[in-house]
Amino acid sequence: MEFTAQAIAEFLKGEIAGDPAVTVNTIAKIEEGKKGALSFLANPKYEPYIYETDSSVVLVNRDFRAAKPVKATLVRVDDAYEAFASLLTLVEQSRPRKKGIHPSAIVGEGTSIGGDAYIGAYVYIGENCKIGNNCRIYPQSYIGDGTVIGDDCLIYQGVKIYHECIIGNSCTIHAGSVIGSDGFGFAPQSESEFMKIPQIGNVILEDHVEIGANATIDRATMGSTIIRRGVKLDNLIQVGHNVEIGENTVMAAQTGIAGSTRVGSNCMFGGQVGIAGHLRIADNTRLGAQAGVAGSIKEENRVYTGTPAVDHRIFLRSSVIIRKLPELKKQVDALEKEVKDIRKDKA
């Protein structure tokens, strides 16, 4: 598709600086810009590229002031990053949508499929399922018996959703993810044997949840593992049985949450965060990458870093001390030698 700078500015309620008739038909990073491309500048450290880019149109914040001439037409908006995301959404929605059920798909008895749905090749949908309107389920996905999927959901290739799980409206599950696999429940019987505890619960994803590629969300032992409205999980995340994640919480890749932990709303976790089981994490908690949480976090709006996780300010002060440890050891060794020499002299 092709858009003029004028059309983009009108859609974003922005202001044009340059040629309003210039057109774009592709999108590029500002440092890789080319003629006909749309780019954006939100991070100040990328400002040097705006003077060199060959992109035809660049979105900038309204308060941006160029230090030297810019070749591209600028569209000034309140938030360049947010505006760029809005345009990407528009482009995505304008693409042709697949519809219909592929002949190789298998749909079990008692299953209903809503209007305008797409069921790709070799998809298996079990018995007594309910698939909402305008859903897209891509090839080789598996939907277990009794599963309910709401309207406007996007299930990418190779997703496995076990039986009796519930997926809300406007959810996205990326390729290779597994929803509803057994929780890690085993009862020790002797020093070397364990008895498997049946996992008879399910998983509930509320509306507007997005699950990254190759993530796993375990079904509850009893009751439900619950991912609340608006949660965004990155790739390769493990969520244990009976976990509950509060609304609008986001987690970066390789985070792991052990069973029966309750995570609050509006939390943000960096990559490779690890949280032990049966904990409570307060609303608006921020965890830095590789933070290891062994105890509950009860105060809201706190930032923690490190393993074991501590207040971020304490972590920064400790980091300074750690860097000085080699020097401190030399000083301690020197003091020990002085003490030994003094003792020898007194002896």
**Which residues form the catalytic set?**
241
**Of 268, 308, 304, 273, nearest in space to 289 by CA:** 273
Beta strands (DSSP E) in 192-259 are 194-196, 202-205, 210-211, 216-218, 224-227, 232-233, 238-239, 244-245, 250-251, 256-257
- Residue in this structure with the two tokens 């790739």, named with its chain if needed: 235
Q: How far apart are CA 253 and CA 235, in angstroms?
A: 5
> What φ, ψ does residue 17 adopt, rounded to 5°?
-125, 100
Rounded Cα–Cα distance for residues 238 and 258 (Å): 8
Q: At 308, which amino acid appears?
A: P
> Is 156 in a helix, a strand, or coil?
coil
User: Among 48, 51, 45, which Cα is nearest to 69's?
Assistant: 51
CA-to-CA distance for 184 and 206, rounded, in angstroms? 23
